[in-house]
Amino acid sequence: MNRPRSLNQIALRYSAIYLALVIITSALGAGGLTLWQKNTEESHRLQVMIHEVEAMRGTLYRQMKELFDATFLADAQAPMQYREFGQQIEDSLHRLAENARPGDETLAVVELKRTYREIYQRTSLVAFGPVPTENQLLQRSFDSDLESGGIKQYETAFGQIDQLLEQQQGALQQKLTSLARYTPLILIVPMLLAVGLWLLTQRFLRNYFVRPLSQLLKATTELTHGELAHPVPRQGALELITLADAINAMAADLAQSRNALVTAERQATLGALVPIVAHNIRNPLASIRATAQVIDDEHLTQEVREGLQGIMDSCDRLERWTESLLSYLHPLEATRQNTALGPLLQDLIQMMQPMARSRGVILHLHIPTQPLMAQIDPELVEQALHGLIINSIEASPMDGQVAILLQQETGRITLRIKDDGPGLPFAPQTGRLTPGPTTKRSGTGLGIPFALKVFEVHGGGVQFDLRPEGGTEALLWLPLP
């Protein structure tokens, strides 16, 4: 069975879930933003490099034009323009080297720089070298191999870096496409987590708070209407379960108090009624017995005299029952003192041995070697035990046995009375003080209720059980002093 959680534990649990949701959402957002930023920067870098490459290509052809003007048209400004264009190309090469990634891009920029500088050196020598002879001038003017070879290598290097940048741009475009495809999913995941958390919160409120509180209010309404047997369900958080246990314990105490009050009222009613009934019974009984005693004469027939004796015996029995009932209903006031139970039982058994022998019953007393002391009223306890032991003796058959065992158990002192009789015709319980039926001709049926009353006054109790081998076992207990 799972242990119920407290509201504090549940709040901490859901706070952790909320925090995890915030962290996951923040991580997804930060990851997506970082990825988008990196791709944007990469796109900008590639655009810059492509622009620089295209600009270099145009600048190179303008530089070649100035070379033509300086060589064939003798333009005085061409050499200066030629060198300015060369510086622009060098600056572009420098920016390309800064933006290039290590690896293929860097190698491509290095190759482009090498081919350009080779072209620059050759063209500078052709156009601006020392004053040549006619043959040298002709070679300078028509050195197509030198020019076309350098430019061809330069165009090859241009093609390599163009192709590399196009590949890089294509890969970047695929990344951006994938990012655009998965961006809605990145946004949907936190939304789904939030919806799941909301559903989980609703379930939590319903199972741990709303439903248990509703059941609690319903049960308390039943309790206010006097339905004390209606328990509060143990549901929800630990605090609500604790509250339900407290209300159930309070209802049980109220039910017990109500039963005790009803019993007390019943006892008070009987206590007030029985003396009146007893007075109204005793007077006619006395008159009937006196009349029967006066009529009794030795000259009467045997049958008449037996009838008169039966009338007198019945009157005596009713008198004893009335006296016992008055004694039972009278409130007990125990005068407690520290009493050794062993000697009390030994005196009681010694006093009852003649009666047991006359009925052929053997009494066995088992007491511990260590004295057992209890705070009791010895006269009341002796009177209660006397009635119970008499019941066991009278219920046991000829050659039967009655065992009395005194011992100390956990937190209490117990006394067990075991007999070999047929068992009780009813099952008295602790707290049941109403008289039961009796199978004895001279019994009143008040011995067991009186014993229950005496032991409950002392904080103990009495319990009766049928023995498996036959007979009855009476368990009596008293609290330790």
Q: Look up the CATH number of the domain holding residue 373.
A: 3.30.565.10
pLDDT of 34 strictly over 50: yes
Q: How far is CA 387 from CA 43, 396, 410, in A?
A: 108, 14, 27
Same domain, 43 and 63: yes
Same domain, 312 and 456: no
Last residue of a domain, one of 278, 305, 326: 326
In a domain, 411, yes or no: yes
Are 72 and 95 contacting, i.e. CB atoms less than 8 angstroms apart? no
In a domain, 208, yes or no: no
Q: What is the pLDDT of residues 294-350, one digit of tens each?
A: 777 777 788 878 777 878 877 776 776 676 566 656 666 678 889 999 999 998 898
Last residue of a domain, one of 302, 326, 350: 326
Partners of 453 in the β-ladder: none
Work out how many domains the chain is built from and give that number. 3
pLDDT of residue 136: 45
Same domain, 315 and 340: no
- In this prediction, residue 1 has a pLDDT band, given cuts at 50, 70 and 90, of very low
Same domain, 279 and 262: yes
pTM metric for this prediction: 0.40
Are 420 and 471 contacting, i.e. CB atoms less than 8 angstroms apart? yes
What six digits make up the tokens of 175? 């990344």
Same domain, 292 and 350: no
Number of CB atoms found within 10 A of residue 381's CB: 26
φ, ψ at 10 (rounded to 5°):
-65, -40
Last residue of a domain, one of 326, 357, 386: 326
Q: What is the pLDDT of residues 148-190, one digit of tens each?
A: 555 667 677 777 777 777 777 777 777 777 777 777 766 677 7
pLDDT of residue 404: 92
Same domain, 179 and 287: no
- In this prediction, residue 145 has a pLDDT band, given cuts at 50, 70 and 90, of very low
Same domain, 321 and 354: no
Same domain, 120 and 256: no
Q: What is the pLDDT of residues 69-128, one digit of tens each?
A: 776 677 778 778 888 888 888 888 888 888 888 888 788 888 878 887 877 777 766 556
In a domain, 198, yes or no: yes
pLDDT of residue 64: 77
Please name the residues in contact with 396: beta carbons below 8 A apart, sequence gap of 6 or more.
359, 361, 402, 419, 420, 421, 471
In a domain, 46, yes or no: yes
Among 40, 37, 34, 43, CA closest to 170? 43
> Across all residues in the chain, what is the average pLDDT?
76
Are 123 and 87 contacting, i.e. CB atoms less than 8 angstroms apart? no
Mean pLDDT of 401-417: 91
pLDDT of residue 9: 72
pLDDT of residue 272: 62
SS3 405: strand
User: Which range is most confident: 22-36, 371-385, 405-419?
Assistant: 405-419
In a domain, 212, yes or no: no
Rounded CA-CA distance 30/37 in Å is 10
In a domain, 451, yes or no: yes
Same domain, 318 and 338: no
Same domain, 272 and 347: no
Domain with 20 in it: 7-202
In a domain, 447, yes or no: yes
pLDDT of 140 strictly over 60: no
- In this prediction, residue 430 has a pLDDT band, given cuts at 50, 70 and 90, of very low
Same domain, 374 and 306: no
Same domain, 343 and 423: yes
Q: What is the pLDDT of residues 199-253, one digit of tens each?
A: 877 777 777 767 777 777 777 777 777 777 667 777 776 777 777 777 777 777 7
In a domain, 320, yes or no: yes
